[in-house]
Amino acid sequence: DAGVIQSPRHEVTEMGQEVTLRCKPISGHDYLFWYRQTMMRGLELLIYFNNNVPIDDSGMPEDRFSAKMPNASFSTLKIQPSEPRDSAVYFCASRLRGWTDTQYFGPGTRLTVL
């Protein structure tokens, strides 16, 4: 399997623009997670899905952030409008099913908002 795939790997945009990050989980995995990593706040869980349904979005910073999972093989994280403080590395991860299953991370998208 190719692992968790994220695109783009790097994104540079200007403040106020819309940004869309994409994730393809490992085939057959029921859970998908979006994390944000910054120097100041470390690794934070933003939202996660189970069988394409959002379960917990309490980590989403504000209404400018939204996430969707239209099918089992694709998810997006959208920021509109983007702000410089959104600059971070965004990771997607997926997990097969149960608690004892490993959470596999993608390579991340490094977002820079100017």
Partner 1 sequence: AQSVTQPDIHITVSEGASLELRCNYSYGATPYLFWYVQSPGQGLQLLLKYFSGDTLVQGIKGFEAEFKRSQSSFNLRKPSVHWSDAAEYFCAVGSFNNAGNMLTFGGGTRLMVKP
Residues that bind partner 1 (CB under 8 A): 4, 33, 42-43, 45, 48, 50, 55-56, 58, 91, 93, 99-100, 102-108
Minimum CB–partner distance for residue 110 and partner 1 (Å): 8
Nearer to partner 1, 3 or 84 (CB): 3
Nearer to partner 1 (CB atom), residue 81 or residue 107: 107
CB atoms within 10 A of CB 101: 13
CA distance 85 to 27: 33
Task: Report yes or no: 26 and 3 within 8 Å, Cβ to Cβ.
Answer: yes
For residue 67, how many other CB atoms are within 10 A of its CB? 20
Q: Which is nearer to partner 1, 42 or 70 (CB)?
A: 42
| Residue burial 70-83, b: 16+ Cβ < 10 Å; e: rest | eebbebebebeebe
Minimal distance, residue 37 CB to partner 1, in Å? 9
Closer of 7 and 17 to partner 1 (Cβ)? 7
